[in-house]
Amino acid sequence: MEAVARFRFIPTSPRKMRTVIDLIRGKSVEEALNILHYCKKHSARDAEKVLRSAVANLMNKFEDGRIEISNLYVKEAYVDGGPMLKRILPAPMGRAFRIRKRSNHVTIVVATKENK
């Protein structure tokens, strides 16, 4: 069984967020939460928030709400680019430089490990 959580329109660049998301892809949920909690990057806070939401979504899918976190892992985690805010910065000699303020969308899928 799996559950999805998305956090959209995060005001950081997708490139910065991807460096954090690459750390947790394929790891167990306990290990991923530890990595994100102690990571120094600012986007780790947003990624931790999404991961906790995905775990909560999975617990809500079960009737009794009881599931062991040790049996969960991050099945998929990816970052997509969001809309850009385009601004103009005055430059010398009457020119204008364009500033692109990027945003991103984070999606994390959490699943249970299948014991064979």
Say which CATH number the domain at 105 has. Answer: 3.90.470.10
Total domains in the chain come to 1
Blockwise average pLDDT, block size 10, the chain, 116 residues: 96 97 96 97 97 95 82 96 97 97 98 79
* The pLDDT of residue 64: 77
Residue 51 structure tokens: 């991961």
Q: What is the pLDDT of residue 115?
A: 65
The closest alpha carbon to 34, from 22, 48, 20, belongs to 48
| Residue type present at position 17 | M
Question: Given this model, what pLDDT does residue 17 score?
Answer: 97
Token pair belonging to 17 = 């967020």
Domain housing 99? 2-112
Residue 65 confidence (pLDDT): 66
The rounded distance, in Å, linking the Cα atoms of 79 and 26 is: 15
Non-local (6+) Cβ contacts of 97 within 8 A are: 88, 89, 90, 91
